Amino acid sequence: MKPPLTSALVVRTCVCTTLVLVLLFSSLAIFAPLYFHPLPGNHTTTTTPAFPDASPTAVVYNISNSWRALHFCKSAYCPVDAVVNWSCGSACGNATTDFHVFNVYENASTGNSGFSGMDHEAGKIVVAFRGTANTANWIQDLDFWSMPYPHPACGELCAIHRGFYKAYDSMREQLLQDVLAMHAQYPTYSLFITGHSLGGAIAVLSAIEFTTWNLPRTHSPLADNLSVSAAVPTGVTAADDPAHLMPVELYTFGEPRVGNVYFTNWSTSVLSQERQFRVTHARDPVPHLPPRSWGYLHVPQEHWYPADDSVYMRCADRSDAEDPACSNSVYSTTVSDHLLYLGTCTRCSCNAATMEEIYNYTLSPEVEALLATEYLIDHTPPAAVHSR
């Protein structure tokens, strides 16, 4: 689906070019309810620069782990009783067959939920988050309010989406206590965090915090003495002694942008690039929100599936820019692409009723116009932008 261009606005002269840009940027005012508070920093810092031929960091994307992560996300959409008993059919079975649920987290006000537990088959502590049940309404109601990121190591210029942090903070304290308890019981297990949609944003915030905790890989008095109030980095980094720190692995699906360029730069330095994967699918609109023109920027590393099959692209995104050749290369307004990943639906069950609902989801004209504006801004030729 191509963006709705008006045929009368064909760029033929410098005067026409200026008119097009004025109309495009003026259209942002039309969506005042959607554009609230820009993030700190010059918005031009998020403009995509020229990219190298390959990512500066060699990243190994594990399709099997991605499949398991997706099914943990699917399980998070299942009824609580089914999750607690790990009896949610193929959603649970395709994730792992030997799983003990430690706790379930629900937030009625935000509509998101998740769970934690131990995957004894893989030797991992798992934390999984789902998005909201009504995806179309959530996209429609998504605002762009920001807030300072409350981690002192990130710096005062770091800002994140206020709603995403509120959703994470609503379950944060209990989650941190639970992971510490599981880590004390299984100190050799690694930490596996995953999330879909809004759950992907929560997963990013969770993974960053746990990484800065620098939990030891083997049991020690340090693990016994840690508390939620001690969520400030100990000063030990993975570069100092990575073999003795619990690895944190992150897989997200259809994740929205979480913070600004300062947040992304810092979080990229914290998270291991070999262990964080942002999976996107075809024309999924959610990864394009909140918009880059308002200072938001994705955390690497994107892996884009252009279609429903197993062919994907390892994208060349960095801590200061997103790859224009991956999901940013298409005009993305297909809600069903947000609810279908790796050839399956992201809901608990993919029965006929669920699939019909998925394919009937549509975006509002306001959100489609917003995405069209972002697409046009991203794909306006540089010569046209600088014309006078």
Q: What residues does each domain of the chain span? A: 38-365
Given a contact cutoff of 8 angstroms between Cβ atoms, the answer to whether 147 and 84 are in contact is no
- For residue 31, the model assigns a pLDDT of 32
- Sheet hosting strand 276-281, strand order edge to edge: 99-107, 112-119, 124-129, 190-196, 248-253, 276-281, 302-305, 313-314
Three-class DSSP category at 180: helix
Torsion over CA: 223, 225, 229, 231 (sign): negative
How does the average pLDDT of the chain come out, rounded? 79
Nearest to residue 258, comparing CAs of 146, 141, 134?
146
pLDDT tens string 177-219: 999 999 999 999 999 999 999 999 999 999 999 999 888 876 4
CB 219 within 8 A of CB 189: no
> What pLDDT score was predicted for residue 54?
32
Half-sphere exposure of 255 (CA within 13 A, CB side): 34
By DSSP bridging, strand 190-196 and strand 124-129 are: parallel
Pairing of β 296-297 and β 259-260: antiparallel
pLDDT of residue 140: 66
Task: Say what the pLDDT of residue 133 is.
Answer: 76
Coil, strand or helix: which one is 233? Answer: coil
The pLDDT > 70 percentage for the chain reads: 74
pLDDT surpassing 90 at residue 110: no
Q: Which of 295, 293, 259 is nearest to 27 (CA)?
A: 293
Give me the pLDDT at residue 196, please: 97
Per-residue pLDDT averaged across 354-364, rounded? 93
Number of H helices, E strands in the chain: 13, 14
153-177 burial: b if 16+ Cβ within 10 Å, else e: ebeebbbbbbbbbebbebbbeebbe
The region, left, alpha or beta by phi > 0 then psi within -120 to 50, assigned to residue 351 is beta
State the architecture of 38-365 in CATH terms.
3-Layer(aba) Sandwich (3.40)
Contact 37, 146 (CB under 8 A): yes
The pLDDT of residue 351: 95
109 burial level (CB within 10 Å; 0-12, 13-18, 19+): exposed
Which of the pair, 13 or 165, is modelled with greater confidence?
Answer: 165
Choose the weakest-confidence range: 57-71, 86-100, 146-160, 305-319.
57-71
